[in-house]
Amino acid sequence: MTRPAAPSSFASLLAAVRGGQTVGSAARAVGVSEELAAVMLDEAKRMGLAVSAREVCGTCSPASASPLCAGCPVLARPDA
């Protein structure tokens, strides 16, 4: 019986940011540098696998008190 393949760093990073983690916290969780994580996410964007919150709504501002931002998973999670 063969064991299932472990998820790649790329897939794990995408899953982490899709789950609401920041680039920094996702990079730490996956075990890569924040710089490498940023490059990996840029590649995911080019491949059409990811899009940034800022690109989606155009109003992303961490200090925003706008009701539109109330349910944003990006703003709701600190970079811990």
pLDDT tens per residue, range 21-67:
888 999 999 999 999 999 999 999 899 888 776 666 666 665 556 66
Please state, in angstroms and as integers, the Cα–Cα distance from residue 67 to each residue in 9, 12, 50, following that order. Answer: 35, 31, 25
Residue ranges covered by each domain of the chain: 9-76
pLDDT of amino acid 2: 65
- Cβ distance 35 to 23 under 8 Å? no
Q: Enumerate the H helices of 1-80 as residue ranges.
A: 9-18, 23-30, 34-46, 53-57, 73-76
Q: What is the pTM of this model?
A: 0.65
pLDDT of amino acid 5: 56
pLDDT in tens, 68-79: 666 665 555 444
Identify the residue with better confidence: 55 or 80: 55
Is the CA virtual torsion 46, 10, 74, 61 positive or negative? negative
> In this structure, what token pair is assigned to residue 67?
């009701």
